[in-house]
A and B are shown apart, each in its own frame.
Chain A
Amino acid sequence: MSAPVADAAEAPAAGKPATSGGWRARVVTPQLPWRVVFIVVLALGLLAPFVLDPAFRLPLFTKYLCYAIVGVGIALAWGHGGMLTLGQGLFVGLGGYSMGMYLKLHEAGPGNVPDFMSWSGVEKLPAFWEPFRNPVVAIIGVIVLPIIVATVLGLLVFRQRVRGAYFAILTQALTAAFVILLIGQQGYTGGTNGLTNFGSFFGINLFEANGQRKLYFVTAGVLLVIFLLLRLVVASRFGRLLLAIRDGEDRVRFLGYDPTVIKTIAFAISAVTASVGGALIVPVVGIINPGMLDIVPSIELVIAVAVGGRYSLAGAVIGAVVVNWARTNFSEDYPSGWTYFQGALFIGVIAFLPRGIAGIVPQVRDGVPVLLKRLGITLPTRSGPPGGPPAAPPPGGAPVLIPGQGTPEAKEAV
């Protein structure tokens, strides 16, 4: 569950010879604790809709899961690919508005224009709305639109080796432009108010408790599928290449791979996940508006991932749920205190916990020997087999190496 780098390091250290055979060897593996945790989380997830109040708590929890879907995509692009996207709001918006347009037209009935259009004096449905009457087109839009945008942007930008902070700023600027466009085209997009007033979502009545439960299961199911799919992506050769590009793009290029294509694909995958999350959030919160996509919410998505652990997909899920849960609980009672806390959280996590919650265990494991060494304490060590890998940290108490950073590459890429 932790960063694949750590997984790879753990695997050979299993300690148990594979020849011992039997069911024990197959069940008691280094991954066992993680599997147990995974099953427990699944069980809790199945119970949640029957425990949480379907009128208030359950929709909130479903909303956190939508953010988790977006977060998993960010973890892929940022943690694994080194591409900090500060503009996921753009893709959330593409998905959200595609879905919102369909729901709105479904609500208005055939031949009619949505309510906000008639308020703005738009009598005829604009041509780009027309296809979204069809639910299949809407779902295809949720998936295809972000791929197109991300691929075009990715190819143009990565081909010219624009990366690092430049890329982050460009994604942020694009999102800002998108939001201004949405607000400006009041008659076509609903302006600042966005699209709202939905009664049903593919036959699920959003106003009754059972409808909320169904919606929860749809969202949780999508999250599970995306999470497992992305784990396959990360474990694949493609995932390895992505990590390699993050840590040394030019070396990968010299080996004969084309980083542009690989980075673009990873960026497109993260765009699609954001878009799916955005599409699901529309029925859950009942609204999609530019305020949900702006620069600030986009960067908050990133911070949730940083808190959970950017190098780990599971960490991204944890981060999204924990941070958003904390926000609903604290920001209502202490709005100003929450802002301070959020700022401090940014600083604290980046400064002291760069691997996030998911990285606490490995960080302590790697950090304690360094600390002990600094304090001049030597632990009595078992005499390992000769020629074994050096388990001790490098001399001089070098700080723990954070993947993707502190490499000469990262320093110069700016």
Chain B
Amino acid sequence: MNGFLNQLPIGLSIGAVLLLAALGLTFTFGQMGVINMAHGEFIMVGAYTAYMLQDWAGHEAVLAALPVAFIVAGLFGVILERTLIRRFYGRPLDTLLLTWGVSLILQQLVRDLIDNRGVQVVAPGWLIGGADLGGIRIPYNRVFILGLAVACLVAIWLYMSRTPAGRRMRAVMQNRELAACSAVRTDRVDQITFFIGSGLAGVAGVALTLVGTISPTLGTKYIVDAFLVVVVGGLGQLRGALIAAFALGMLNSYVEFWTNASLGKVLVFVAIVAFLQARPQGMFVLRSRALT
């Protein structure tokens, strides 16, 4: 029974990381139809930002790394959007391959400029250790990641539902042409969305430094699962991303607990295909009169 309950915080924290990674994707994918394979590398950029900041400012820099990584990764995203992706709207499959090329280059840059092998970020003292709750061990770093994911989710929700900029973002997501007709500068909104989406990947990267070593291929481990979250949750859907991320995190953690890690992934995939039979467009769908 203890083993069963011990999987709970693990599942929750996998879900939290997936949520952080998928939040950005669901907006860039949902609003612009861009499959950004380099999103995983923005996670890596965030993680290395934390590493470099800690190198320079000491152990407690992890908190400061959160906003810095958000901005650094966000800038990477905007540069990518301005220089390349902007030219490929309406060709989603091509953006996928294009950004894959970008991710190759980013990975190799990190290998050449920083370190070939993995590096370690030392968690600050107050994140080491854990609490015992009736026999279940709850590590502090996992609680922190969970809190971070929830905070990001709330911030995004406030931004989207309470600010004029968020309203413009929703407008573009629902109907780009109509938004443009209503004097919304869609390309400007695209830039902001890309900045926020990529920035969130950077935050996810900082979170990941707390649970393991970081390496240039850090992002590739998460990108496929993050995309699955988007597919299951529905495009541009906060609620969908939230439910899907934690469902996938739990499923991963428990299936691996009951069977083994290798069979677990296959079962999770089968579960997703089965789910898509019931809801091919994900949990929540943006209603529109478009045919497809």
Q: Do the two shown chains form a genuine complex with each other?
A: yes
For the complex formed, measure the closest distance between the CB of B165 and the CB atoms of chain A, giving whole angstroms: 24
How many angstroms between the C-alpha atoms of A411 and B33 in the bound complex? Answer: 8
Chain A residues near B59 (CB-CB < 8 A): none
For A183, give the chain B residue with the smallest CB separation: B262
Chain B residues near A414 (CB-CB < 8 A): 29, 33, 92, 235
For the complex formed, measure the closest distance between the CB of B270 and the CB atoms of chain A, giving whole angstroms: 9
For B227, give the chain A residue with the smallest CB separation: A169
- Knowing A165-B93, A173-B269, say if A343 contacts B291 (CB, 8 Å): no
Most B CB contacts (10 A, CB to CB) among A165, A295, A351 go to A165
* Secondary structure dominating the interface of B: helix
Pair B111/A346 contact, Cβ less than 8 Å? no
For B292, give the chain A residue with the smallest CB separation: A412
How many angstroms between the C-alpha atoms of A412 and B107 in the bound complex? Answer: 31
| Total cross-chain contacts (CB, 8 A) | 143
Chain A 123-181 interface residues, beta-carbon cutoff 8 Å to B: 153, 156-157, 160-162, 164-166, 168-170, 172-174, 176-178, 180-181
User: Which of B84, B111, B273, B290 meets A170, CB within 8 Å?
Assistant: B273
How many angstroms between the C-alpha atoms of A344 and B101 in the bound complex? Answer: 6
Could you tell me how many residues of chain B have their Cβ less than 8 Å away from some Cβ of chain A?
A: 47
Chain B residues near A405 (CB-CB < 8 A): 90-91, 93-94
How many angstroms between the C-alpha atoms of A250 and B291 in the bound complex? Answer: 8
User: Which of B94, B266, B273 meets A157, CB within 8 Å?
Assistant: B273
Chain A residues near B35 (CB-CB < 8 A): 165, 168-169
Pair A347/B101 contact, Cβ less than 8 Å? yes
Pair A169/B97 contact, Cβ less than 8 Å? no
Pair B273/A299 contact, Cβ less than 8 Å? no
Most A CB contacts (10 A, CB to CB) among B93, B103, B231, B261 go to B93
Chain B residues near A413 (CB-CB < 8 A): 92, 292
User: Which of A157, A339, A351 meets B104, CB within 8 Å?
Assistant: A339
Pair A409/B292 contact, Cβ less than 8 Å? yes
Pair B96/A411 contact, Cβ less than 8 Å? no
For the complex formed, measure the closest distance between the CB of B267 and the CB atoms of chain A, giving whole angstroms: 9
Chain A 320-349 interface residues, beta-carbon cutoff 8 Å to B: 336, 339-340, 342-347
Chain B residues near A153 (CB-CB < 8 A): 273
How many angstroms between the C-alpha atoms of A35 and B100 in the bound complex? Answer: 36
How many angstroms between the C-alpha atoms of A389 and B262 in the bound complex? Answer: 60
How many angstroms between the C-alpha atoms of A106 and B265 in the bound complex? Answer: 32
Name 7 A/B residue pairs within 8 A (Cβ), A-sorted: A161-B292, A165-B33, A177-B265, A177-B266, A344-B101, A350-B101, A412-B292
Listed in ascending order, the chain A residues whose CB lies under 8 Å from chain B are: 84, 86, 153, 156-157, 160-162, 164-166, 168-170, 172-174, 176-178, 180-185, 249-250, 295-296, 299, 302-303, 306, 336, 339-340, 342-347, 350-351, 354, 402, 405-406, 409-414
Chain A residues near B111 (CB-CB < 8 A): 336
Known: A157-B276, A162-B280, A347-B84. 7 other contacts (CB 8 A): A164-B93, A184-B262, A184-B263, A340-B105, A343-B105, A406-B90, A412-B292
For the complex formed, measure the closest distance between the CB of A275 and the CB atoms of chain B, giving whole angstroms: 19
Chain B 247-292 interface residues, beta-carbon cutoff 8 Å to A: 260-263, 265-266, 268-269, 272-273, 276-277, 280, 290-292
Pair B105/A169 contact, Cβ less than 8 Å? no
Chain B residues near A302 (CB-CB < 8 A): 97
Chain B residues near A299 (CB-CB < 8 A): 97, 100
Chain A residues near B292 (CB-CB < 8 A): 161, 249-250, 409, 412-413
How many angstroms between the C-alpha atoms of A165 and B101 in the bound complex? Answer: 17
Pair B280/A160 contact, Cβ less than 8 Å? yes
For the complex formed, measure the closest distance between the CB of B35 and the CB atoms of chain A, giving whole angstroms: 5
- Knowing A156-B273, A181-B266, say if A410 contacts B108 (CB, 8 Å): no
User: Which of A84, A170, A182, A184 meets B260, CB within 8 Å?
Assistant: A184
How many angstroms between the C-alpha atoms of A309 and B107 in the bound complex? Answer: 27
Closest 6 CB pairs of A and B: A184-B262, A346-B101, A160-B280, A343-B105, A343-B104, A177-B265
Chain B 221-262 interface residues, beta-carbon cutoff 8 Å to A: 224, 227-228, 231, 235, 260-262
Q: Is B220 an interface residue (CB 8 A)?
A: yes
Pair B224/A162 contact, Cβ less than 8 Å? no
Q: Is B132 an interface residue (CB 8 A)?
A: no
Q: Is B87 an interface residue (CB 8 A)?
A: yes
Q: Is B152 an interface residue (CB 8 A)?
A: no
For B109, give the chain A residue with the smallest CB separation: A340
- Knowing A181-B265, A184-B262, say if A346 contacts B100 (CB, 8 Å): yes
Chain A residues near B101 (CB-CB < 8 A): 342-347, 350
For the complex formed, measure the closest distance between the CB of B32 and the CB atoms of chain A, giving whole angstroms: 10
Pair B228/A173 contact, Cβ less than 8 Å? yes
- Knowing A174-B269, A343-B105, A346-B104, say if A160 contacts B276 (CB, 8 Å): yes
For the complex formed, measure the closest distance between the CB of B146 and the CB atoms of chain A, giving whole angstroms: 25
Pair B266/A303 contact, Cβ less than 8 Å? no
Q: Is B8 an interface residue (CB 8 A)?
A: no
Q: Is B192 an interface residue (CB 8 A)?
A: no
- Knowing A177-B266, A406-B90, say if A303 contacts B277 (CB, 8 Å): no
How many angstroms between the C-alpha atoms of A166 and B233 in the bound complex? Answer: 12
Pair A350/B262 contact, Cβ less than 8 Å? no
Chain A residues near B227 (CB-CB < 8 A): 169, 172-173
